[in-house]
Amino acid sequence: MASFLVSWSITSTSLAKQSHFAKRNPRLRVSCEKNQTEISHENFDRRNLLLGMGGLYGSSNLLSISPALATPIEAPDFTKCSRGTNLSTGQPLDVNCCPPLSREIIDYKLPPVTRMRFRPAAHLATAEYIEKFETAVELMKALPDDDPRSFMQQANVHCAYCNLTHEQVGASDLRIQIHNCWLFFPWHRWYLYFYERILGKLIDDPTFGLPFWNWDNPEGMFMPAMFANSYSPLYDARRNVYHLPPAIADLSYSGKDAKHPSKIIPHNLTLMYREMIRHARHLEDFYGAKYSTGSKPNPGPGTVERGSHTAIHSWVGEATRTGEDMGNFYSSARDTLFFSHHANIDRLWTVWQDFRGPKAKHFTDSDWLNTTFLFYDENARLVRVKVGDTMDHIKMGYDFQKVDIPWQKKKPRAHWKKSKVASTSGAPSADSIFPIKLDKVIKVLVPRPKKSRSKRDKENEEELLVIEGIDVDTATFVKFDVFVNDEDDDPYVLDKAEYAGSYSQLPHKNSSRVKTKIRLGLTELLEDLDCEDDEYILVTLVPKAGGDDITIGGIKIIYVS
């Protein structure tokens, strides 16, 4: 156990915070004598103590904190926004996403809801609504460039929070990334909330709501026509011209058009079932992995983020290596379609919460609830908001048009039951080949620590396949698919139970190597395959994009209650 001394002046307030912090971290001991405090912690890195503003976090002179000392991500200090350098080449970035500065920051309180904002399905929007939407966007684009509500400044908000532009307060060697973690849903909800209110104020309509692109419904699985009109302010020239209407959006898009176009819709529906039901029984699996001060970016994306969300971004973006606008994180919000795409993501969050019934619908971890961000509101005021205020969209003053949910009953069927492929494949065991580069199809036998589980066992614990140590360069679009006990070996057939899921990542302007993980639900899948008594499963990893740049660290099965 490491031990060291740190000196600073201690106020009664900071002592109270330290005492509270120690209670939350029983292995942390804090004792005070005059102007020095001794802190002991198992495996404690002396870089990781954060002092200064806000108690035990906030000092820009110290580096990062260990996971055991995690604290909520704090709203960034805009005065320290950095245009940055490419972390791979060391060259300055050719894009500046830094926001305008303000002398005052207001702690935002949700205003009383007197009139609801209505978000229509884009494919059902009336001509009157479309005209209103176009007028609002045109007025936003006409605002001065230095107005924080202007079109490009609003686009830069997304760029700054996802392109490693803002320092973590209290961990200045790390940057904020709101993707591939548990902040994905709440951050984007706040982003759309203010974007919508800005548009509404510009047209003096407090009931105006953004349209949602209903791409999880066959009736809405094409680019909404209002965005494909080249004379409209909603149009973006940097889109894949082969994916304009009437092309059907591919929710499993991997950078190439589907080999079997007629199967896109059934693939889409079973994919949504996996993302929203089969793999989304635990909060972490739906929202993404925990991310707090001192955490490195990309701890692990949730089901929707790594699947349909990324696929739509890439499918819309320009058919180039970097995929502007929608196909690259830094530029995606330059396309008005981004906001309708994410309005549907926001809607899916509410759908998933409705499915949960009395079960927990969000984290109770204070590191999530107390995470804060900065946005400019419709009055150009810089406001500080909390994740904890995003739990109920109705309390935030908006609601969605009711539409059918056809994928709810589209459970994929097994092509093979009681398959013996695991015992006859001759594949190596999982503990013998990793880490390994995913430059070809990889087959591996993964042992199951528990088999023949009872109904109660399954209710108490979900069996999960964990693919960890996924090492990728964030400058590259990557995707791989995962199959379990698949005898067909056809990587283009996805509407079957043997298809377990995928990992995908959009490229970033500011590139760096990251390590992340995904978790895939096995309980229902193994029931469908009728192989619950098997000691091993055969896992097949199929690279679909960027495989030469993907390394897998390991695969295992865990059980989570």
Closest by CA to 322, choosing from 117, 136, 489, 476, is: 476
- In this predicted structure, what is the pLDDT of residue 46? 27
| Residues 422 and 486: beta-carbon distance below 8 Å | no
| Residues 146 and 100: beta-carbon distance below 8 Å | yes
Where does the pLDDT of residue 3 fall: very low under 50, low under 70, confident under 90, or very high at 90 and above? very low
Catalytic residue (one of 166, 243, 279, 309):
309
- In this predicted structure, what is the pLDDT of residue 489? 83
Q: Is residue 279 annotated as part of the catalytic site, yes or no?
A: no
CB-facing half-sphere around the CA of 395: CA atoms within 13 A: 7
196-to-85, 190, 217, 335, 368 alpha-carbon distances in Å = 32, 10, 23, 15, 24
Which pair of tokens denotes residue 240? 């894949």
Query: Any idea which of 77-81, 200-204, 361-365, 555-559 has the lowest mean pLDDT?
Result: 77-81
Q: Is residue 123 annotated as part of the catalytic site, yes or no?
A: no
Average of per-residue pLDDT across 363-367: 97
Which pair of tokens denotes residue 424? 């006859």
Where does the pLDDT of residue 26 fall: very low under 50, low under 70, confident under 90, or very high at 90 and above? very low
Q: For 44-52, which contacts have Cβ atoms below 8 Å and span 24 or more sequence positions?
A: 44/1, 44/2, 44/68, 45/2, 46/2, 46/4, 48/294, 49/6, 50/170, 50/171, 50/293, 50/294, 51/6, 51/8, 52/170
- In this predicted structure, what is the pLDDT of residue 40? 31
Q: Tens of pLDDT along 226-252?
A: 999 999 999 999 999 999 999 999 999
- In this predicted structure, what is the pLDDT of residue 44? 29
Highest averaged pLDDT of the listed ranges 38-42, 411-415, 546-550: 411-415
Where does the pLDDT of residue 32 fall: very low under 50, low under 70, confident under 90, or very high at 90 and above? very low
Per-state percent for the chain, helix, strand, coil, to nearest 5:
30, 20, 45
Q: Binding site: what residues are annotated?
A: 158, 179, 188, 309, 313, 342
Catalytic residue (one of 123, 188, 267, 415):
188
Q: Binding site for Cu cation: what residues are annotated?
A: 158, 179, 188, 309, 313, 342
What average pLDDT does the structure give for the chain? 87
Give percent above pLDDT 70 in the chain.
Answer: 86
Q: Is the pTM of this model over 0.85?
A: yes
Q: Is residue 179 annotated as part of the catalytic site, yes or no?
A: yes
Q: Tens of pLDDT along 398-425?
A: 999 999 999 999 999 999 899 999 989 9
Q: Is residue 243 annotated as part of the catalytic site, yes or no?
A: no
Catalytic residue (one of 313, 341, 415, 508):
313
Q: Is residue 158 annotated as part of the catalytic site, yes or no?
A: yes
Catalytic residue (one of 158, 267, 279, 362):
158
Q: 164 vs 354, which has greater pLDDT?
A: 354
Catalytic residue (one of 179, 267, 341, 362):
179
Q: Is residue 313 annotated as part of the catalytic site, yes or no?
A: yes
Where does the pLDDT of residue 107 fall: very low under 50, low under 70, confident under 90, or very high at 90 and above? very high
Q: Tens of pLDDT along 59-97?
A: 333 333 344 456 999 999 999 988 766 656 667 778 889
- In this predicted structure, what is the pLDDT of residue 148? 97
Domains and CATH numbers, the chain: 2-69 (3.30.70), 78-409 (1.10.1280.10), 421-560 (2.60.120)
